[in-house]
């Protein structure tokens, strides 16, 4: 039995998309961060840091979105996370790249432009915005070149890396960011968004 505890922001969305695409049977449990549900004793007993996403599998708990995506790909024996070690490492390299670099810049922009004003956390930090914008454009330019020759990030096949990265990049819609300069990134994004798993995952979220 798989149960995913999450909230509709990028870290949970990565895992929700991967679970849905893997075809595993699972339940989605909303942990409403706005109501502080992640701070409850019952949630803290499941996960020490009190963060989402959290995966429950047969009474065991796993936190960290990257670890959850890799685990789901492994236990489902899915081609989304290839068994071949080099191919698997090529998927891993994109997970790590998005966590440490391009996804991080999108998350910074989201935090500064959406989260801070929404929750009264102060003015956007201009230096952070400038740094994130500069590196996001630099890295998107390189990614656009790579996606000119391939439909997917790794091994010429859709993988957990594409779904993971998609959850970061989709934040462009709510921040002041355009993908117009990156037609191959936009085409890759549209290709993922057209998959049934994305619609099914989104349908599990509260309206």
Q: Using CB under 6 A as the criterion, which residues of the chain lie in contact with ligand GSH when the complex forms?
A: 7, 9, 11, 33, 38, 50-53, 64-65
Q: Provide CB contacts within 8 A for 36, sequence distance 6+.
A: none
Closest CB to ligand GSH among 52 and 140?
A: 52
Closest CB to ligand GSH among 38 and 70?
A: 38
The distance of closest approach from Cβ of residue 116 to ligand GSH in the complex, given in angstroms and rounded to an integer, is: 14
DSSP-derived secondary structure for the chain: -EEEEE-SSHHHHHHHHHHHHHT--EEEEE--GGGTGGGSHHHHHH-TT--S-EEEETTEEEESHHHHHHHHHHHTT-TTS-SSHHHHHHHHHHHHHIIIIIHHHHHHHHIIIIIHHHTT--S--HHHHHHHHHHHHHHHHHHHHHHTS-SSSBTTB--HHHHHHHHHHGGGGTTT---TT-HHHHHHHHHHHTSHHHHHHHHTS--
List 61's β-bridge partners, or say none: 56
The distance of closest approach from Cβ of residue 32 to ligand GSH in the complex, given in angstroms and rounded to an integer, is: 11
The distance of closest approach from Cβ of residue 7 to ligand GSH in the complex, given in angstroms and rounded to an integer, is: 6
Return the structure tokens found at 72.
Answer: 């789901």
Taking the CA atoms of 36, 4, 48 and 160 in sequence, report the sign of the dihedral they define: negative
Closest CB to ligand GSH among 65 and 113?
A: 65
Closest CB to ligand GSH among 67 and 187?
A: 67
Closest CB to ligand GSH among 92 and 144?
A: 92
Closest CB to ligand GSH among 41 and 84?
A: 41
The distance of closest approach from Cβ of residue 94 to ligand GSH in the complex, given in angstroms and rounded to an integer, is: 15
The distance of closest approach from Cβ of residue 76 to ligand GSH in the complex, given in angstroms and rounded to an integer, is: 19
The distance of closest approach from Cβ of residue 141 to ligand GSH in the complex, given in angstroms and rounded to an integer, is: 25
């Amino acid at each position: 039995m798989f149960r995913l505890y999450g909230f509709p922001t990028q870290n949970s969305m990565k895992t929700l998309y991967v679970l849905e695409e893997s075809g595993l049977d699972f339940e989605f449990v909303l942990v409403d961060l706005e109501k502080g549900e992640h701070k409850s004793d019952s949630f803290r007993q499941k996960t020490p840091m009190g963060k989402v996403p959290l995966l429950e599998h047969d009474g065991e708990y796993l936190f960290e979105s990257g670890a959850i995506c890799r685990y789901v790909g492994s236990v489902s024996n899915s081609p989304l996370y290839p068994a071949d070690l080099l191919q698997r490492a090529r998927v891993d390299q994109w997970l790590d790249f998005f966590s440490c670099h391009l996804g991080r810049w999108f998350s910074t922009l989201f935090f500064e432009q959406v989260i801070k004003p929404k929750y009264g956390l102060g003015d956007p930090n201009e230096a952070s915005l400038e740094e994130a914008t500069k590196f996001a454009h630099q890295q998107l330019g390189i990614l656009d070149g790579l996606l000119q020759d391939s439909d997917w990030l790794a091994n010429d096949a859709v993988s957990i890396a594409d779904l993971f990265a998609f959850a970061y990049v989709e934040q462009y819609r709510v921040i002041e960011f355009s993908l117009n300069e990156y037609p191959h990134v936009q085409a890759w994004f549209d290709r993922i968004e057209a998959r049934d798993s994305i619609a099914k995952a989104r349908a599990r979220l509260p309206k």
